[in-house]
Amino acid sequence: MSLTTFSTERAGARVGRDTDLPTKVTAPSLLQKKLLRQPITAVTAYDYASARLVDEAGLDVVLVGDSLAMVMQGHENTLAVTMDEMLLYTRGVRRALRRALLVADMPFGSYQTDEREGVANAVRFVKEAGAEAVKLEGGRERKELVRRVVDAEIPVMGHLGLTPQSVHRMGGYKVQGKTMEAIDELRTDALALEDAGCFALVLEGVPRELARIVTEELTIPTIGIGAGPDCDGQILVLHDMMNMAFSNRAKFVRQYADVSGLMREALAEYRRDVEARTFPSDAESYHLSREMRELMGVQAEVVG
């Protein structure tokens, strides 16, 4: 176990001026950002520590994405993660957030087969894990489900374009919306999701030009990932941007830090120190009191 604890005092950890940050990001406040042309910042997180750092950095949205199946569990795609696993990860993230909006990904199989089950699972995310919104993939075929989840007082974020839960139908992770037919389909789907009540829409793996058209056509904000700079906001997988994904980066990923390199270096140094018996030092050790040492006939270690 670790005796290290997170400080309850968080005000000093913020990046930038606290007075510039709203006290809490909500689904309606994201719409306001679109109206004011203020970019929305979003990233994935899957555990307390990373989510807390994201929140303290002042980002707007934290998504507990089903991408955790790949970057946290080592699967080759997102399909294997279960509802119970998603709830577990979401609970940890919930405890870390104070400002950011918490959105939970509905995993594959939790809403595709039965709309009643889909609504019930969305309720579980809010009731059991503290999510403030859910995200689901698909277009017009999800319109009634979106309506029913919204009717249950749960905000819904849509997801179009390269939808990872459809990886087998798409034949892999490929850019979508490159033909006139596909463009028309995506535009129609986007408007249908907005009409159904989605408060925001993720556009993944689509041409920049198409993302700009959809962004201009919708009154709800678009959040892009591999969709160019003209969306109302951007989202990245945390492990991708920090070089912790153990895979080749997609074209749209910008690496902001080499966390894996830092961790390898630190762990190698730790191993060397342990093997050389330079860790722990006397200063990093606990000691008996002088009286107890005398009673037991134990000499204090001499620090060389």
Task: Give, in degrees to the nearest 5, the angle at Cα 285 between 279 and 286.
Answer: 165
Task: Give, in degrees to the nearest 5, the angle at Cα 220 between 215 and 221.
Answer: 60
Q: Which amino acid is at 90?
A: T
What are φ and ψ of residue 192, in 5° steps? Answer: -65, -40
Gap between the Cα atoms of 250 and 272, Å rounded: 35
Gap between the Cα atoms of 132 and 145, Å rounded: 17
Catalytic residues, which ones?
204
Q: How far is CA 8 from CA 13, 95, 200, 265, in A?
A: 11, 12, 32, 30
Gap between the Cα atoms of 206 and 186, Å rounded: 10
Gap between the Cα atoms of 276 and 168, Å rounded: 51
Tokens of 133: 């919104």
Contact (Cβ atoms closer than 8 angstroms) between residue 79 and residue 86: no
Residue with tokens 């970019």: 39
Contact (Cβ atoms closer than 8 angstroms) between residue 139 and residue 184: no
